[in-house]
Structure 1
Amino acid sequence: MSDPMRPRASLRTAVVWDVLKDALDRRAKTAGRDPHGVLDVLDTGGGSGNFAVPVARLGHRVTVVDPSPNALFALERRAAEAGVADRVKGVQGDAHGLFDVVEPGGYDAVLCHGVLEYVDDPAEGVRNVVRALRPEGVLSLLAAGLGGAVLARALAGHFKEAHQALSDPDGRWGEGDPVPHRFTAEQLTALVEDAGLRVGAVHGVRVFADLVPGVLVDTEPGALDALLKLEAAAAELSAFHSVATQLHVLAEAEETAGGS
């Protein structure tokens, strides 16, 4: 199967996709319920299916919960075009009322990408998605990083806003900031561990991609592939977590976790 995340969009998704695919492959080998290794995957805030459709193309069943009817309509169309409409289901809802629309403890893996930034209570949001996991299930959590926003404001010459983001408890740079919450790697891992999961890995996402001029990537021969390799190499190094635009946490539920 061809890489679903290339070419240009891969700068934003490649690191997460590679980690997620490996985690799903490992989980499929150990889940043991389905002889073909098919997993039940929940994608909270999955929108139009940027991850849900590629996951379904791997053969898994995916339920997408999203508050936007337009996004769910686009998801349905994208799944049909990819030939996986029978493995993708869209449900209108959000992380706060997650169990109004799905059953707790019913999923081998849960994706929570770009959700925590916008919920009123991030800790509650994490607890909810953890409750959706089966024992030994996998959580893929992606959220906005504080350091990346500070660096971006500073490089744009907005030094007061950069300083404000550093001192604000939610990591916001001002009244016009469209992102309600940003996180450090330590804050995200604490949220996950407090919810009862074991953190397996933390990755910095878009460490360089948002800082490199797009024209360079689009016109310089080999630049995209070289930048993708650089992003992958830096992602696992904790030194770069503090400047990443996004942070990705991969965690596993203990044997007694899930729908309890």
Structure 2
Amino acid sequence: MSDPLRPRASLRTAVVWEVLKDALERQVKAAGPEGGVLDVLDTGGGTGAFAVPVAALGHRVTVVDPNPDALFALGRRADEAGATERVRGVQGDATGLLDVVEAGSYDVVLCHGVLEYVDDPAAAVRNVASTLRPSGTLSLLAASRNGAVLARAIAGHFAEAQRGLADPDGRWGEGDPLPRRFTTEGLTSLVEGAGLDVASVHGVRVFADLVPGVLVDTEPGALEALLQLELSAAELPAFHSIATQLHVLARRG
């Protein structure tokens, strides 16, 4: 597995990384950019968990994030990976995205873990979509409402699970750290409302957040077996409803 992150963390990112790598390869073939180099935008990309590995593949990546400390860490991470010249950090957010980057300038745009926090998710998706070139690709990752309900129920917090199930934003209580979560239908509706075509939907962390860490850390071969199970289940719609996150791949045109 080529995930650049730590082994345990790879359970949380492997599905998205594999889908994203395939999307980048397809985009290179479809767009035919000079030298096979894509222009990639990572909005809310923080310290570069995805941006730096994408740059390591040879692409040019612009990271937009409101946190200056995260952008500083991004620069350090890019330097350690020898990708400084291919990574650019810009302070900003999805709401004012077009104030800091040009519309129609990117082949691939990442929007991971952003919609949970913005005031207007529909406007944020429209802004992100507007930065795509014709036939560009959007990678959208957001928290799943149903996955959170399942997690609260398994933990024995049944009242919180009930509240999360009934709440329009999928919040399970005052202590919930996320302002909102999404269903598959909700996310795909936002994407289509922004004028993009949904190419695929994947469930992310279907099992990883439910399996006790001690099993993964101590049982020989358990990590790789669980990783393969995650990759297999991600594509099956039946498992989308219990995933912790939902990943939507969409295209313009």
| TM-score relative to the length of structure 2 | 0.98
User: Displacement, 1:6?
Assistant: 4.5
User: Displacement, 1:141?
Assistant: 0.1
Q: 2:32 is aligned with what amino acid?
A: G
Kept after mapping to 2: 8 A contact 1:218/1:224:
yes
Q: Distance in 2 between matches of 1:201 and 1:30?
A: 17
3-state SS of the aligned residue for 1:43?
strand
Deviation track 1:121-152 (CA, whole Å, cap 9, x = no partner) reads: 11011101000100000000000001110011
Instruction: Quote the residue 1:52 is aligned against.
Output: 51
User: Counterparts of 1:167-182 in structure 2 under 5 Å?
Assistant: 167-182=166-181
3-state SS of the aligned residue for 1:8?
helix
Q: Distance in 2 between matches of 1:2 and 1:181?
A: 31
User: Displacement, 1:171?
Assistant: 0.6
Instruction: Quote the residue 1:215 is aligned against.
Output: 214
Kept after mapping to 2: 8 A contact 1:171/1:181:
yes
Structure 2 residue runs without a partner (length 5+)? none
Q: Distance in 2 between matches of 1:100 and 1:247?
A: 28
Kept after mapping to 2: 8 A contact 1:204/1:248:
yes
Instruction: Quote the residue 1:166 is aligned against.
Output: 165
Instruction: Quote the residue 1:103 is aligned against.
Output: 102
User: Counterparts of 1:1-260 in structure 2 under 5 Å?
Assistant: 2-34=2-34, 36-254=35-253
User: Displacement, 1:2?
Assistant: 4.8
Kept after mapping to 2: 8 A contact 1:5/1:14:
no
User: Displacement, 1:3?
Assistant: 3.5
Q: Distance in 2 between matches of 1:133 and 1:185?
A: 22
Q: Distance in 2 between matches of 1:212 and 1:50?
A: 23
3-state SS of the aligned residue for 2:220?
coil
Let me know the Cα RMSD of the aligned residues: 1.0
Q: After the TM superposition, which parts of structure 1 deviate over 3 Å for at least 4 consecutive aligned residues?
A: none
Q: Distance in 1 between matches of 2:113 and 2:5?
A: 17
User: Displacement, 1:175?
Assistant: 1.2
User: Displacement, 1:176?
Assistant: 1.3
Q: 1:20 is aligned with what amino acid?
A: L
Q: Distance in 1 between matches of 2:41 and 2:95?
A: 15
3-state SS of the aligned residue for 1:118?
coil
Kept after mapping to 1: 8 A contact 2:3/2:17:
no
Alpha-carbon spacing, 1:160–1:2, altered in 2? closer, same or farther (3 Å):
closer
Identity of aligned residues (%): 77
Kept after mapping to 2: 8 A contact 1:142/1:246:
yes
Q: Distance in 1 between matches of 2:127 and 2:3?
A: 31
Structure 1 residue runs without a partner (length 5+)? 255-260
Q: Distance in 2 between matches of 1:5 and 1:29?
A: 27
Q: Distance in 2 between matches of 1:164 and 1:120?
A: 21
Q: Distance in 2 between matches of 1:106 and 1:222?
A: 43
User: Displacement, 1:252?
Assistant: 0.3
Q: Distance in 1 between matches of 2:133 and 2:209?
A: 36
